[in-house]
């Protein structure tokens, strides 16, 4: 787990004072390229690590060698825990590493460090299959979660209608490069897509958060509800077995290969919110995909085919 390596890299730097990427690679039993990327990740996260070029150079911590984490500032500590925290939601080893880090911190830093570690989490299962850059506003929202400050959001919904609301930010989730904010509102817990946040302003008003709130549990509930909406209609189709992985890329976890047939095809179950959604995804396959049931999806495919034939047949 990369989080464990980053913690180990930091402790190794504090012990040695200055190291090369090759030194770190040998210590962590990884490639030199991986060690260099880990050092760059620490620097990018705000940890005071810097490279020294030339003979006798390497990577060093500002201020020289240290034997524990008490030399880190509050901002540097928060940066490290924001970096490591998402991995700790899925890794027992990372959680253990975080507990050790907390014990090594000055008492005044511990509350913010623990808040930063639980401010974000990662979910690598895609809902869209699209690559998106990290929104710049994520840093402001992370700060709001850690400092427990209300945020004034200008938010555009799926219909691009804008509204302004003040929310209590509870946590952020990186869903395969699409970020979501879970927050408290006047109507209870809500989930906001960060790429639809037009503007966000950090207020001085303290945010409220339930004492029993856990980001991973809240996200499981969100995922469960979204998956229920996305799988309201199921269809059974036949497709050449060699194309099943491509079909799975389109439908993700809502694609289940059930049986390989003797004619080189497979029986596959797929799901989407409506029959029209399934038909739209399958229309481009033409006769390569045969829908066995339900009749509603067959009817939608026939309608799409008729529309296309009417539009292009006379041209």
CATH number of this structure's domain 2-118, picked from the four choices 3.40.50, 1.10.10, 1.25.10, 2.170.130: 1.10.10
Bridge-based pairing of strands 162-175 and 120-123 is parallel
pLDDT tens, position by position, 253-304 = 889 999 999 999 999 999 999 999 999 999 999 999 999 999 999 999 999 9
Tell me the average pLDDT across 146-164: 90
Q: What is the pTM of this model?
A: 0.50
ω into 294 cis (within 30 of 0): yes
Q: In what order do the strands lie in the sheet with 289-293?
A: 255-260, 265-272, 233-240, 289-293
- Residue 225: the pLDDT is 84
| pLDDT level of residue 139 (50, 70, 90 thresholds) | confident
CATH architecture of 123-213: Roll (2.30)
Stretch among 8-17, 139-148, 186-195, 305-314 having the lowest mean pLDDT: 8-17
pLDDT at residue number 94: 53
Query: Which class in CATH covers the domain with range 231-312?
Result: alpha beta
Q: Which residues touch 295 (CB under 8 Å, ≥6 apart)? A: none
- Return the pLDDT at 116: 56
Q: Give the pLDDT confidence of 26-39 residue by residue, as tens digits.
A: 888 888 888 888 88
For 93-122, how does the pLDDT look when each residue is reduced to its tens digit (9 = 90+)?
555 555 556 555 555 555 655 565 555 555
Q: Taking 80 as the threshold, does the pLDDT of residue 206 lie above it? A: yes
Report whether pLDDT(6) > 90: no
Residues of the chain with CATH 1.10.10: 2-118
Kindly report the average pLDDT of the chain as a whole number: 79
Q: What proportions of the chain, in percent to the nearest 5, are helix, strand and coil?
A: 50, 30, 25
Q: Where in the chain is the domain with CATH 2.30.30.520?
A: 123-213
What's 106's DSSP letter? -
């Amino acid at each position: 787990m990369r989080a464990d390596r980053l913690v180990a890299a930091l402790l190794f730097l504090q012990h040695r004072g200055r190291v090369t990427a090759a030194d770190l690679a040998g210590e962590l039993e990884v490639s030199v390229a991986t060690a260099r990327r880990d050092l760059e990740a620490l620097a990018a996260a705000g940890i005071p690590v810097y490279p020294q070029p030339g003979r006798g150079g390497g990577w060093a911590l500002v201020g020289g060698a240290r034997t524990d984490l008490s030399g880190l500032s509050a901002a540097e500590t928060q940066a490290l825990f924001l970096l490591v925290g998402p991995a700790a939601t899925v890794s027992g080893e990372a959680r253990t590493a975080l507990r050790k880090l907390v014990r090594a911190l000055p008492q005044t830093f511990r509350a913010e460090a623990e808040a930063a570690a639980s401010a974000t989490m990662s979910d690598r299962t895609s809902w869209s299959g699209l690559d998106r850059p990290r929104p710049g506003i994520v840093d402001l929202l992370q700060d709001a979660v850690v400092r427990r400050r209300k945020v004034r959001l200008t938010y555009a919904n799926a219909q691009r209608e804008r509204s302004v609301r003040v929310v209590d930010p509870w946590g952020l989730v990186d869903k395969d490069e699409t970020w979501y904010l879970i927050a408290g509102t006047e109507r209870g817990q809500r989930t906001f897509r960060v790429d639809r946040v037009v503007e966000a302003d950090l207020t001085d008003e303290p945010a409220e958060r339930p004492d029993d709130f856990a980001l991973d549990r809240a996200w499981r509930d969100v995922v469960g509800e979204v998956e229920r909406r996305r799988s309201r209609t199921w269809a059974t189709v036949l497709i050449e077995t060699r194309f099943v992985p491509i079909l799975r890329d389109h439908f993700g976890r809502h694609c289940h290969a059930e049986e390989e047939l003797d004619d080189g095809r497979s029986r596959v179950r797929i799901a989407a919110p409506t029959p029209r959604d399934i038909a739209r995804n399958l229309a481009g396959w033409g006769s390569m995909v045969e829908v066995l049931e339900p009749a509603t999806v067959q009817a939608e495919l026939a309608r799409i085919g008729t529309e296309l034939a009417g539009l292009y047949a006379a041209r």
